[in-house]
């Protein structure tokens, strides 16, 4: 009986340890992603690549969200971002399209089930898009 309890306790500890290791791996991967994102904005020339960074952030968040309306809102935001970026590449600034992206991203931030850290990332993106709207003529 005593030997069975020790065996069960050992098995429980091994299961707990394995679970902890499996949970730590995605967090480490996420930590490096967040660190890389932070480094991106401290470098030079990020203004020219901001829209791609917003898309990358949406892709990252999309991998960890629940399906359904959450994913639809993110996919819709990325579609609007693609349209906006196509116009900008053709040297056509259209504030209504930028406003659509901002509104769509606002809905993602407000209505999606996000981790606090992911919500902060997308809120930061939203702030940068608003800044672009206000200062796009001088954006470099």
CA distance 68 to 99: 24
Rg (CA), the chain: 21
Name the pTM for this structure: 0.73
φ, ψ of residue 130 in degrees (nearest 5) = -65, -40
In angstroms, what CA-CA distances link 104 with 50, 79, 115, 117, 135?
17, 10, 18, 19, 20
Residue-wise pLDDT for 27-65, tens only, equals 444 678 788 878 777 777 787 889 999 999 999 988 877
* Pair 140, 56: CB distance under 8 Å: no
CA distance 21 to 14: 11
Per-residue pLDDT of the chain (140 residues; tens, 9 = 90+): 666 656 555 555 555 544 444 444 444 446 787 888 787 777 777 878 899 999 999 999 888 776 677 888 999 999 999 999 999 999 999 999 999 999 999 999 998 888 899 999 999 999 999 999 999 888 76
CA distance 61 to 115: 9
Locate the domains of the chain by residue range.
44-138
């Amino acid at each position: 009986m005593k030997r069975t309890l020790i065996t069960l306790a050992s098995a429980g500890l091994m299961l707990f340890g394995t679970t902890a290791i499996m949970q730590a791996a995605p967090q480490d991967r996420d930590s490096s992603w967040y660190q890389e994102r932070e480094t991106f904005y401290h470098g030079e020339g990020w203004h020219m690549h901001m829209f791609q960074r917003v898309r990358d952030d949406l892709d990252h968040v999309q991998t960890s969200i629940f399906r359904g309306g959450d994913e639809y809102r993110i996919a819709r935001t990325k579609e609007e971002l693609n349209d906006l970026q196509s116009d900008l590449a053709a040297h056509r600034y259209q504030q209504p399209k930028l406003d659509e992206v901002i509104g769509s991203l606002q809905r993602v931030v407000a209505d999606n089930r996000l981790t606090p850290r992911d919500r902060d990332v997308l809120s930061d993106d939203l702030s940068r898009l608003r800044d672009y709207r206000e200062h796009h003529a001088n954006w470099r």
